[in-house]
Amino acid sequence: MIRIADFITKAAFEGPKRAAVSFEGLTLTWAELERRCWAIASAFRDLGVGKGERIAYLGQNSHRQFEAYLWPTRIGAILVPLNYRLSIAELIECVADCTPRVLVVDRHFVEEARAIADACTSIDVLVYADDGEVPAGMESYEALLDDAGAPDIRALDALASSGDDTMILFYTSGSEGKPKGVMLSHAGLFINVLGQAPAYGWSSDDIFLLSGPMFHLGAGSRVFAALVNAGHMVIVEKFDPVLVMQVIQTHRITSVTFVPTMLSMIMNHPDYDPHNLSTLRLICYGAAPMPIGLIERAVAELPHARFGQSYGMTETSPVLTILGPEHHDPAGEHPERLKSVGQPLVYSDLRIVDENDRPLGPGETGEIVIRGPQVMNGYWNQPERTAEALRGGYYHTGDAGYLDEDGYLYLAGRVKEMIISGGENVYPIETENALSKHPAVAECAVIGLPHEKWGEAVHAVVRLKTDGAASEQDLIDHCRALIAHYKCPLEITFRDELMPLSPTNKVLKSVLREQILARVT
């Protein structure tokens, strides 16, 4: 039986005076963390929070949010870390969906919390978890903790969640309809840490940096890696390249998790000096491939660091595949594997399937589906979307990709972007990859447009380099030399402006589609 919070007890027994978590000036030992977590769990039980109830948390990264990942499980409650980048209306939608009675908030979001509490009748307690004066009408986290006294551990034990019980809910923004609360279990989160261990070799000597937002599991999952290995977790409120460089040096950080942009921001900063990063032993990255130039530079300048790429999502606790350190040598035997996201964790049954859920063979692109212990329990309160996502026992990622003969996974965009032209499936990324190899092309994006004969037509939007020249036919001929005819653009729209981008720097194809359709009609 797995109970995540038991790892606090284990670490506090083995090394009570070792550092567990640091935030700004503060460091808590494992013994202190254990005492605080038991006490605050006990206090929340006395507030009337019952087994299976949700506790919402709205705040920037802190040691208190780290604690909140763990102690609610002691009373069988479920944490809901809220994404503070959402609008108030969106936050209200999440809270209205999971109906917590308690909302915990830090000093940055006091007004937002009040607005949410006004709109959501389920909330009857606001808890202020921060330093400084406690706002009117709120309970103080630290006062609750101090007043809790010695908790009755046996009584709490009877309430604790475990195993396949849901312990945390992350809301993922729904591009289709209302947000989905992803229900994750003790077992799924724990086993996902164990599954990464052979590649990353963590130990209790590791000092982890958490610099991504804890309302996302991408960053938050490192809480469990540090916990299970009894390592030391150092938290920064939010990512800033200078702050992160200082913290790495001060705390002698060994293990970091970045998105490639973060590493690029650090290595291109005027204050960057490789010597200040010399304690790094492991640099994990995800959410996007690492540009080959950045890898080459990092390998050369940070010789003590190894690199690992993880591919995953909230619904899979989160890791599906790992491209291990042995594949991060650009001069190695298989440099092409740096374009993959690696191989599935040993226990994952990962497949590529077509639109009828029939398995595809090596090299064939389709939807990535997975069955394994790390798959979510489902979406909170949404049995139909859960059944749809888990149909046939496999979680459907919505990501397109293919496996090579050796089982390395290559991503190919979202399944929804797939174009069906003349009965053939075309993934825009394949056409885009071909187009971008033409020397005159600066940027391109491929979409499907309605077509009388073919159902959908492959349509490319291209911006040429200022000194580049190529006709529509030139580019089509260029593609025909590289990929199957049905994957080549039938038509090309040229534009001079930059592509419209989302806040996460993805091309907004929906905008392109609207612009082109408006022009056509």
Cis (ω within 30 of 0) for the bond into 318? yes
Q: Contacting a second copy (CB under 8 A), which of 2, 245, 288, 516?
A: 2
- Contact letters for a second copy, residues 219-248 (x by CB under 8 A): ---------xx-------------------
Complex with a second copy: residue 239 or 394, whichever CB lies closer? 394
Query: Residues touching a second copy: how many (CB under 8 A)?
Result: 35
| Cα–Cα distance list, 51 to 78, 98, 362 (Å) | 8, 14, 46
Residues 223-227: contacts with CB under 8 Å, at least 24 apart: 223/66, 223/69, 223/70, 224/4, 224/69, 224/189, 224/190, 224/192, 224/193, 225/193, 225/196, 225/200, 225/255, 226/21, 227/4, 227/7, 227/8, 227/11, 227/70
Residue 45: its H or E element: helix 30-46
- Contact letters for a second copy, residues 374-413 (x by CB under 8 A): -x-x---------------x-------------x------
- Which residues, including other chains, have CB under 8 Å from residue 64's CB and lie 6 or more apart? 104, 106, 129, 130, 141
Dist. CA 501–CA 508, nearest whole Å: 5
Residue 463: its H or E element: strand 455-464
Complex with a second copy: residue 341 or 444, whichever CB lies closer? 341
- Nearest distance from residue 411's CB to a second copy, in Å? 20
Complex with a second copy: residue 161 or 264, whichever CB lies closer? 161
- Which residues, including other chains, have CB under 8 Å from residue 514's CB and lie 6 or more apart? none
- Nearest distance from residue 363's CB to a second copy, in Å? 16
Q: Contacting a second copy (CB under 8 A), which of 359, 361, 362, 439?
A: 359
Which parts of 180-333 are beta strand (E)?
Answer: 180-185, 207-210, 232-235, 255-258, 282-286, 306-312, 319-323
Complex with a second copy: residue 143 or 197, whichever CB lies closer? 197
Q: Quick one: DSSP state of residue 4?
A: T
Dist. CA 275–CA 273, nearest whole Å: 5
Q: What is the DSSP string of 64-89?
A: HHHHHTTGGGGGT-EEEE--TTS-HH
- Contact letters for a second copy, residues 273-312 (x by CB under 8 A): ----------------------------------------
Is residue 385 within 8 A of residue 396, CB to CB? The reply is no
| Cα–Cα distance list, 282 to 14, 95, 420, 451 (Å) | 25, 37, 42, 50
Q: Contacting a second copy (CB under 8 A), which of 24, 118, 146, 157?
A: 157
Interface with a second copy, residue 373, by CB under 8 A: yes
- Nearest distance from residue 274's CB to a second copy, in Å? 30
- Contact letters for a second copy, residues 102-141 (x by CB under 8 A): ----------------------------------------
Q: Applying CB under 8 A, which part among 16-24, 27-35, 141-149, 184-192 lies near a second copy?
A: 184-192
Interface with a second copy, residue 362, by CB under 8 A: no
- Nearest distance from residue 389's CB to a second copy, in Å? 14
- Nearest distance from residue 344's CB to a second copy, in Å? 10
- Nearest distance from residue 460's CB to a second copy, in Å? 36
Q: Contacting a second copy (CB under 8 A), which of 100, 195, 241, 286?
A: 195
Q: Contacting a second copy (CB under 8 A), which of 6, 90, 296, 424?
A: 6
Amino acid, single-letter form, for residue 225? A
Q: Applying CB under 8 A, which part among 74-82, 96-104, 105-113, 188-196 lies near a second copy?
A: 188-196
Angle between helices 292-301 and 260-267 (to 10 degrees): 60
Q: Contacting a second copy (CB under 8 A), which of 191, 235, 305, 488?
A: 191
Q: Contacting a second copy (CB under 8 A), which of 84, 128, 190, 395?
A: 190
Interface with a second copy, residue 163, by CB under 8 A: yes
Is residue 9 within 8 A of residue 74, CB to CB? The reply is no
Dist. CA 138–CA 129, nearest whole Å: 10
- Nearest distance from residue 201's CB to a second copy, in Å? 8
Complex with a second copy: residue 16 or 335, whichever CB lies closer? 16
Percent of the chain that is helix, strand, coil (3-state, to 5): 35, 25, 40
Complex with a second copy: residue 161 or 309, whichever CB lies closer? 161
Interface with a second copy, residue 16, by CB under 8 A: no
Give the footprint of a second copy on residues 325-354 (CB under 8 A). Answer: 346-347, 349, 351
Interface with a second copy, residue 48, by CB under 8 A: no
Is residue 396 within 8 A of residue 367, CB to CB? The reply is yes
Complex with a second copy: residue 197 or 498, whichever CB lies closer? 197
Dist. CA 54–CA 219, nearest whole Å: 21
Encoding tokens for residue 479?
A: 């593609």
Give one word for 163, left, alpha or beta, with left for phi > 0 and alpha for psi -120 to 50.
Answer: left
| Three-state SS letters, 193-227 | HHHHHHHHCCCCCCEEEECCCCCCHHHHHHHHHHH
- Nearest distance from residue 79's CB to a second copy, in Å? 20
* Nearest to 78, CA basis, from 185, 167, 144, 180: 167
* Nearest to 164, CA basis, from 184, 194, 191: 184
- Nearest distance from residue 357's CB to a second copy, in Å? 13
Complex with a second copy: residue 1 or 481, whichever CB lies closer? 1
Complex with a second copy: residue 397 or 493, whichever CB lies closer? 397
Q: Which residues bind a second copy (CB under 8 A)?
A: 1-2, 6-7, 9-10, 13-14, 157, 162-164, 185, 187-188, 190-191, 194-195, 197-198, 201, 228-229, 346-347, 349, 351, 359, 371, 373, 375, 377, 393, 407
